[in-house]
Amino acid sequence: MKHLFLILILLSGFIIRAQRSDETLKEYFLDAEFFFIQEEYMDALNDYMELYNNGFKNNANINYRIGICYLNIPGQKNKSIPFFLEAIKNIKNNNKDSEYKETKAPIDAYLYLGNAYRVNNMLDKAIEAYTKYKELLNTNDNEGISYANNEIEACKVAEEFMSNPLQVRKTNLGKPINNASSNYRAVLSGDGNTILYMNKLPFYDAVYYSRYENGAWTKPINITPQLQSEGNQYVTSLSYDGTVLYLSKEDNFNSDIYISYMKNGRWSESKPLSKKINSKFWESHVSISKDGKTLYLASNRKDAIGGMDIYKSTLDENGEWGTPKNLGSVINTKLNEDTPFITEDEKTLFFSSQGHHGIGGYDLYKSVLNENGEWGTPENLGYPLSTTDDDLFYYPWNNGKLAYMALIEPDGFGKEDIYEIQVVTPEIIEETITEKITEDVIEEEESQEEIPEEKIHGEEETIIAKELFLNPIYFDFDSYKLTEEGKKELDKIVLLLKEMNNLTIELIGYTDAIGAASYNKILSEKRSLSALNYILAKGIDAHRLKTIGLGETNFVAINRNPDGTDNPEGRKHNRRVEFEIKGVDENKVNIKRTPVPENIKIK
């Protein structure tokens, strides 16, 4: 009897603990939902993962929500795919996804899976997911079907754009501007000596300010306290002279535009602009003209053509902003337009859009003012400036000759960094060549000093060709990040280019045989561009370099053993960028390459 009593006590304790555990998990769910609605995806993810690791691993709804979280966290979007794949195993229409007991995912899981594939450049799989999503929709859901069709078309356009990438020079601003946290939304003064940007701190988003002095950026100052912001004000624009800052202030229900002035070495408390600019709708962004008299605004006010549209407002004779006017259907579409920036000469408008001819999500566009004072048809800036992910806040400087943008790159400090962007156009190449010729002429003139008589009539030196071992650079699986060994090989290329001014080099990227051919083609292009950007950063002229990505072709080693098993060592040799060097003087340099080991070499 005593044993029975003890068993009952233990059993009752287990039941109480189980009940408490269930209550605790429900609290995690409610907390996660709160953060999810607030779009605080990292916090929501932490709580959803508590559920996932405590009995919800096979819950389609939790997998669906974890996938959405990862899809909204920069640098971790690839992690969303396995969770969406688990979610689509158990879906239904009209599920109650916001309820704790829901176990099924909505059919939107296929839509988000398509988005996840798209932003990770797995375009064939993205099309399959979007197509399946269309099949599951009600036939009268015209909006959903139209959206899916747009995304399918975007994937096809992406393949076209990626097959003809731009040559882009990306220069990380480095420390102290960038650090291990996210740095983004950078704006600069007209002289380039003032920069303001956002820095994501653990508990809020801070506004930072720095000056370029004595050849370097000063230590950035957190001016959030000066603005008296609660961490919810975001940089949008800066006056040409660098003394007037425009911000968007966001809460759960509204976004308005605020302004702050530099006075006596400090930024003033930010104040809202007039009610003609700030409506009861969402005003997310402004850009100010060089003379400070024209303002371009992104808003979803009631006369918008789609969701967010771009508007223009001018100062009247009393110094008040006039009612913003919609820029019309040439610029605005039925979807969203955002983050407009006007150049100093007010002839080119850069902006982001979901609705124009693009390759997925928000793409980057520019529109040029014609002789009649009308905006021309927007032109996509092209890949890799526009990507299959959302591309926002492209800040043009010096009439668009340069731009500043937050990117996640292999050479970065961990998260988003601010980069200076330059598209290498034929005009820029011509300018670079002209500058180089001028420098060479000056250098030659300066070197025309008296040469000792014995040197003039002395015996000519015999030149013996030196050997240079130049190997391909290799990459980790599914990566285009340069390794330290790869950088050492590229340093040899840089030295060679500096020693021999007539050389040109083609950087040819390859992959192994694993993965979709279309994805591998893009990956190989990214590998060659990584090598290009590294060499450009060392001061080599862009006109001497060319990149190409050939994907899973021209294997130098076996990908599989004769019995069909995987051969990782062989695949490693296929994941490479090779160099085709033209103009080498063989009397000076004898280039050799280390052969592929015989046991894995293609016979």
Is the model's pLDDT at 221 over the cut of 90? yes
**Res 93 pLDDT > 50:** yes
CATH of domain 455-592: 3.30.1330.60
Give Cβ neighbours of residue 301 (< 8 Å, ≥ 6 apart): 279, 281, 309, 311, 324
Q: Peptide bond preceding 384: is omega within 30 degrees of 0, i.e. cis?
A: yes
Higher pLDDT, 444 or 244: 244
Task: Write out the two tokens for 561.
Answer: 């053993």
Antiparallel, parallel or unpaired: β 255-263 and 271-272? antiparallel
Task: Give residue 465's pLDDT.
Answer: 59
- Give the neighbor-by-neighbor strand order of the sheet with 473-474: 473-474, 576-582, 504-509, 545-549
Report domain extents, the chain.
25-162, 168-423, 455-592
Percent of the chain with pLDDT over 90: 61
Determine the topology of domain 25-162 in CATH. 1.25.40
Q: What is the pLDDT of residues 487-522, one digit of tens each?
A: 988 998 888 888 888 888 899 999 999 888 878 888
Q: How far apart are CA 418 and CA 185, in angstroms?
A: 8
Closest alpha carbon to 251 in 280, 226, 221: 280
d(CA 297, CA 289): 12
- The answer to whether 88 touches 130, Cβ cutoff 8 Å, is no
Predicted confidence at residue 10, as pLDDT, reads 43
Identity of residue 63: N
Distance CA 451, CA 456 (A): 7
Q: What angle do CA 253, 256, 261 make, to 5 degrees?
A: 145
Which residues on adjacent β-strands are paired with residue 406? 418
* Cβ neighbours around 481 below 10 Å, total: 14
**Are 196 and 235 spatial neighbours (Cβ–Cβ below 8 Å)?**
yes
Q: Phi and psi (nearest 5°) for 301?
A: -60, 170
Q: Where do runs of H (alpha helix) occur along 301-394?
A: none
CB 71 within 8 A of CB 112: yes
**How confident is the model over 458-485, as a mean pLDDT?**
75
- For residue 428, the model assigns a pLDDT of 55
Query: SS3 for 402-414, per residue?
Result: EEEEEECCCCCCC
pLDDT digits (tens, 9 = 90+) for 422-459: 987 655 555 544 454 455 445 545 544 444 444 434 44
For 253-285, the pLDDT digits (tens) are: 899 999 999 999 999 999 999 999 999 999 999
The distance of Cα 371 from the centroid of its chain, to the nearest Å, equals 34
Max intra-chain CA distance, the chain: 119
What secondary structure does DSSP assign to 118-181, as a single string? HHTT-HHHHHHHHHHHHHHS-TT-HHHHHHHHHHHHHHHHHHHHHTSPPPEEEEE--TTT--SS
Amino acid letter, residue 71: L
The reported pLDDT for the residue numbered 101 is: 85
Find the length of the chain: 603
Arithmetic mean of pLDDT, 82-93:
92
Dihedral over Cα of 257, 263, 269, 272: its sign: negative
Residue carrying structure tokens 């937050």: 406
The pair phi, psi for residue 98, each rounded to 5°, is -95, 5
Q: What pLDDT sits at residue 437?
A: 45
The single residue listed with the structure tokens 């103009």 is 583
Which range (16-25, 83-92, 232-241, 590-599) has the least confidence? 16-25
List CB contacts of 275: < 8 A, sequence separation 6 or more. Answer: none
* CATH annotation of 168-423: 2.120.10.30
For Cα atoms 398, 402, 403, give the angle at the middle one, nearest 5 degrees.
105
Mean pLDDT in the chain?
Answer: 87
Confidence of residue 7 (pLDDT cuts 50, 70, 90): very low
Whether the predicted pLDDT of 128 surpasses 80: yes
pLDDT over threshold 50, residue 8: no
pLDDT at 140 over 70: yes
Please tell me whether residue 314 adopts helix, strand or coil conformation: strand
pLDDT digits (tens, 9 = 90+) for 180-207: 999 999 999 999 999 999 999 988 999 9
Q: Is the pLDDT of residue 17 over 70?
A: no
* Structure letter (DSSP) for residue 573: H
pTM of the model as a whole: 0.71
380 and 357 Cβ atoms separated by less than 8 Å: yes
